Amino acid sequence: MTANTRDRILDALESLLLEKGMSHVTLENVAANAGVSKGGLLYHFKSKDTLLAGLVRRLAERANQQLTDATERGQSVAEWYLQTPNPDNATDAVELELYRSMLATMRTIDAATDTETDEVQQALVDMMGSWSDGLDKEIADPVQADIVQLVGDGVYLRALLGLPQIAPDRYRQVVDRLLDR
């Protein structure tokens, strides 16, 4: 089995989460939607917990790729973190994949059982920690870095929940103030 199979499995998991919700996520359903046997799925992911953690890790990979692309274009880590996601205006496939992955990941959080939380929770902690580290390296004041992270989290959550965004000019003022411009 190839890395493509692994991606097909994670794509199937994402689709199930987005279209039907966590209650339909079983190893059998994911395998069937990915076009692999349950044994093939278990070759890549030894349990449902490992499968969900794999989704979070792929989300982190996608976000890190988007961050790398943004910084190569001259955008700061803070500006990237504070961007307003909008799947309707996604400029490339990476941005749209990141949005889908984040939305699917959010759908796993409320349904995890005690036995399923450790690996998934750790994957989330690792992902958020890497972003926090980037902000800490870029922003000298650790409290300011935390404020940027909290505002960015709130902006992303609003978008994922489909809530109205702040007017673009007003949001630009918020970002400028946060970044002391």
HSE-up (13 A, CA, CB side) for residue 55: 30
- Can you list the pairs that 117-126 forms with residues at least 24 positions away whose Cβ atoms lie under 8 Å? 118/49, 119/49, 119/50, 119/52, 119/53, 120/49, 120/52, 120/53, 120/56, 122/53, 123/53, 123/56, 123/57, 123/60, 124/56, 126/60
Q: What are the structure tokens assigned to 100, written together?
A: 């889908």
Name the percent of the chain lying above pLDDT 90: 39
Task: Report the number of distinct structural domains present in the chain.
Answer: 1
pLDDT at 1 over 70: no
What confidence score (pLDDT) does residue 126 get?
Answer: 86
| CA distance between the termini of the chain | 51
Q: What are the structure tokens assigned to 9, written together?
A: 């499995």
HSE-up (13 A, CA, CB side) for residue 3: 1
**How does pLDDT run across 7-45, given as a tens digit for each residue?**
999 999 999 988 888 888 999 999 999 999 999 999 999
The answer to whether position 160 is within a domain reads yes
What confidence score (pLDDT) does residue 109 get?
Answer: 67
The answer to whether position 157 is within a domain reads yes
**How does pLDDT run across 45-70, given as a tens digit for each residue?**
999 989 998 998 888 888 888 888 88
The answer to whether position 165 is within a domain reads yes
The answer to whether position 18 is within a domain reads no
The answer to whether position 26 is within a domain reads no
pLDDT at 90 over 90: no
The answer to whether position 38 is within a domain reads no
Is residue 135 within 8 Å of 145, Cβ to Cβ? yes
Instruction: Name the 3-class secondary structure at 24.
Output: helix
The answer to whether position 13 is within a domain reads no
More confident of the two residues 170 and 95: 170
Domain assignment of residue 73, given as a range: 47-178
The answer to whether position 133 is within a domain reads yes
